[in-house]
């Protein structure tokens, strides 16, 4: 299985022969591009024309983040999986209000189930969320309901944290340690979802719960939200409650952000979580949590083509 490659220093990506290198004043490191799913750059990184060529040949996207961990853009090679038929059907489901509403409801059901799964695992009061009926007459109404679910979830999540306070969700920039972790984790999950969507025939800009907007891949937001509680929030709870991540892993600038040591620690734990395998109840085999995101994309393709009816993932682990 290919793995993401994280760059946490300033430098240059360049090609020498058939090898991709990351270089700066202090190091020169070969990147195993044949076994790399995508590259994440958390500091300013320059791509040479040679680097872009080999990244295109190997179909490896590069994602860029600002100093607070917010996603800023990607270099995306020519799409590896393209199907005009699927994109047309996907667009038809977006343009049909009833069909769009069905898919959007499924996304919110999946989000709710993932929240419940995490809260159950930590013996928290999940019923305040599990008893919410997912009803709405438009994607906007469903977005409002989703916001209420997150508000309830944040309060319950805060009660599980032992060493940091978390009073409210804030961003742009995050004003405390937990919000810094959430913002960075969500950004990484968003780009992982984007990379997995590219391996299906779906168009990442045609979404159903979030409104499609210019300059964003909003279907990635739809799918990423389903997995947030059982990936990003699970990792944060583990690191904070085990005191693996502490006050000294953060620095204050304009807002709060991880320092270099904290960034490497958090990314390593996130990567391990995405790679963790769980027994799939239908396939009867172990699959990585990251691969579950791609399976969600495949399920949508089948739904758009009329081969089966989409039911969003209900987290069981």
**Residues comprising the binding site for Mn(2+)?**
146, 210, 225
CB 67 within 8 A of CB 45: no
Contacts for 119 with CB less than 8 Å, ≥ 6 apart: 125, 126, 129, 153, 156
- Binding-site positions read 146, 210, 225
């Amino acid at each position: 299985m290919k793995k993401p490659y994280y760059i946490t220093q300033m430098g240059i990506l360049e090609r020498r022969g058939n090898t991709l290198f990351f270089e700066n004043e202090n190091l020169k490191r070969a990147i195993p591009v044949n076994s790399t799913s995508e590259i994440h750059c958390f500091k300013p990184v320059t791509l040479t024309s040679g680097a872009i060529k080999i990244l295109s040949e190997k179909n490896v996207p590069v994602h860029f983040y600002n100093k607070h961990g917010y996603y800023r853009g990607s270099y995306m090679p020519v799409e590896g999986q393209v199907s005009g038929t699927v994109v047309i059907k996907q667009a038809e489901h977006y343009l049909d209000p009833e069909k769009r509403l069905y898919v959007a409801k499924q996304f919110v059901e999946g989000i709710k189930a993932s929240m419940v799964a995490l809260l159950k695992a930590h013996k928290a009061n999940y019923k305040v969320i599990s008893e919410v009926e997912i009803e709405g007459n438009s994607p906007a109404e469903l977005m409002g309901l989703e916001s209420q679910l997150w508000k309830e979830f944040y309060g319950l999540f805060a009660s599980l944290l032992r060493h940091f306070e978390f009073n409210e969700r804030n961003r742009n920039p995050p004003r405390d340690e937990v919000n810094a972790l959430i913002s960075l984790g969500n950004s990484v999950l968003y780009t992982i979802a984007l990379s997995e969507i590219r391996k299906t025939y779906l168009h990442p800009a045609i979404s159903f719960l979030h409104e499609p907007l210019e300059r964003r891949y909003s279907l990635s937001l739809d799918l990423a939200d389903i997995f947030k509680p059982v990936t990003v929030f699970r990792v944060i709870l583990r690191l904070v409650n085990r005191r693996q991540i502490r006050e000294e892993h953060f620095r204050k600038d304009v807002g709060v952000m991880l320092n270099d040591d904290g960034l490497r620690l958090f990314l390593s734990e996130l990567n391990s979580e995405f790679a963790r395998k769980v027994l799939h109840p239908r396939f009867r085999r172990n699959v990585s949590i990251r691969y579950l995101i791609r399976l969600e994309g495949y399920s949508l393709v089948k739904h758009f083509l009329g081969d089966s009816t989409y039911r969003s993932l209900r987290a069981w682990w």
